[in-house]
Amino acid sequence: MSDDMNKDKSSDGVTPLAKLLFGWTDAKSTPTIFLFALIAVSLGLFVADFFIHKHAYEPVKFSEMPMFYGLYGFAAFAFVVLCGWPLAKILRKDENYYGDLEGLDEDDIKPDAKEEGQ
């Protein structure tokens, strides 16, 4: 059965279907195309933001400001990411918190190490 599965793979271990669907991601120009597409969409949304009429509630009239939702979303994302650093310092455990994962027996421990632990 495994020979049947391997006969459909090319020399680099990729199936023809995978190469057909995702082979374009191997091209050197793919990251550049994605970057320019992202810039084009961002600029298009930036320009459209000046022409779209927003219906803001009375208490939050400042949300009618152009680029408000984009800036608010970026600030919220940055806040969450930056809060992760102090939170990680609080919650992170030491490297050997759970002890030695090798599972040493009592016989494997050196005699002088037993005396230091007591």
pLDDT tens-digit series, residues 77-87: 999 999 998 99
In order of 8, 26, 27, the CA distances from 34 in angstroms are: 31, 13, 12
Q: Tell me, what amino acid is at 83?
A: C
Residue-wise pLDDT for 8-36, tens only, equals: 566 678 888 988 898 888 889 999 999 99
Residue 52 is predicted with a pLDDT of 84
Listed by start position, the domains of the chain span: 1-52, 65-118
User: Comparing 57 with 76, which gets the higher pLDDT?
Assistant: 76
pTM listed for this prediction: 0.51
CA distance 108 to 103: 10
